[in-house]
Amino acid sequence: GNSVTQMEGPVTLSEEAFLTINCTYTATGYPSLFWYVQYPGEGLQLLLKATKADDKGSNKGFEATYRKETTSFHLEKGSVQVSDSAVYFCALSDLGNQFYFGTGTSLTVIP
Amino acid sequence: GAVVSQHPSRVICKSGTSVKIECRSLDFQATTMFWYRQFPKKSLMLMATSNEGSKATYEQGVEKDKFLINHASLTLSTLTVTSAHPEDSSFYICSARKTSGTYNEQFFGPGTRLTVL
């Protein structure tokens, strides 16, 4: 079956630190992979996506590369800001377009 | 663009009453919408898939008589929590599927915070 595993938080970083949030997946077929961000009290916003192997999704300084050989889609940012504090969800979408979410990783960036 | 709205954004109700939550795709037609529930500090749990003009498909363990879903038009799906109880308090998020060429993408609403007293 399909599933997503992401590193548990919470993660606390100082401003300008490097961020990595690990995400691995299990899927039949060739899923699309996503990172969503949820700010306090709000819904999910698409951060970036990749639809096939070796694709790199990027947005707002965040990047993630679809690695089929390691079934991973790790989220990275070179220099985090306080405004990046949020919960990050890794997700996959199968051919039926059903979404499978990871458990979310809470990130707090301190000045 | 592809915007999905939810109304209300938050609602407080008494135990035993029913609450209706609306999910609208504002600038595209969505034959399929999805309803999720999010528990505090937990991931999203898919509750049901709502198809325009037909009955919703519920995930295992979700009571269809308690969580009534109606997808009456290509831009509107509603979730009604019937005879709500405190354990139904949660954050409910909908998403709508937009087909662009051969690719389907889901767009999420901002969520509705339900508190049952």
For residue range A60-104, list pLDDT tens digits in order: 999 999 999 999 999 999 999 999 999 999 999 887 677 889 989
Cis peptide before A10, with omega less than 30 degrees from 0? yes
Cis peptide before A111, with omega less than 30 degrees from 0? no
pLDDT of residue B44: 85
Residues forming beta bridges with residue A33, ordered by sequence position:
A50, A92
In this prediction, residues B59-65 reach a mean pLDDT of 93
Query: Which of A3, A30, A95, A97 should we substitute to test contact with B (largest number of B Cβ atoms within 10 Å)?
Result: A97
The C-alpha atoms of residue B94 and residue B109 are separated, in whole angstroms, by: 5
Q: Specify the amino acid at residue B6.
A: Q
Residues forming beta bridges with residue B13, ordered by sequence position:
B116
With 0-12 / 13-18 / 19 or more C-beta atoms within 10 angstroms meaning exposed / middle / buried, residue A51 is middle
Show residues of chain B in contact with A104, CB under 8 Å: 41-43
In this prediction, residues B55-81 reach a mean pLDDT of 93
The C-alpha atoms of residue A37 and residue A57 are separated, in whole angstroms, by: 14
The C-alpha atoms of residue B41 and residue B37 are separated, in whole angstroms, by: 12
pLDDT of residue B103: 62
> pLDDT of B85-96, one tens digit each?
999 999 999 999
The C-alpha atoms of residue A41 and residue B110 are separated, in whole angstroms, by: 9
Contact (CB, 8 A) for B93 and B47: no
Is any Cβ of chain B less than 8 angstroms from the Cβ of A3? Answer: no
Show residues of chain A in contact with B44, CB under 8 Å: 44, 89, 99, 101
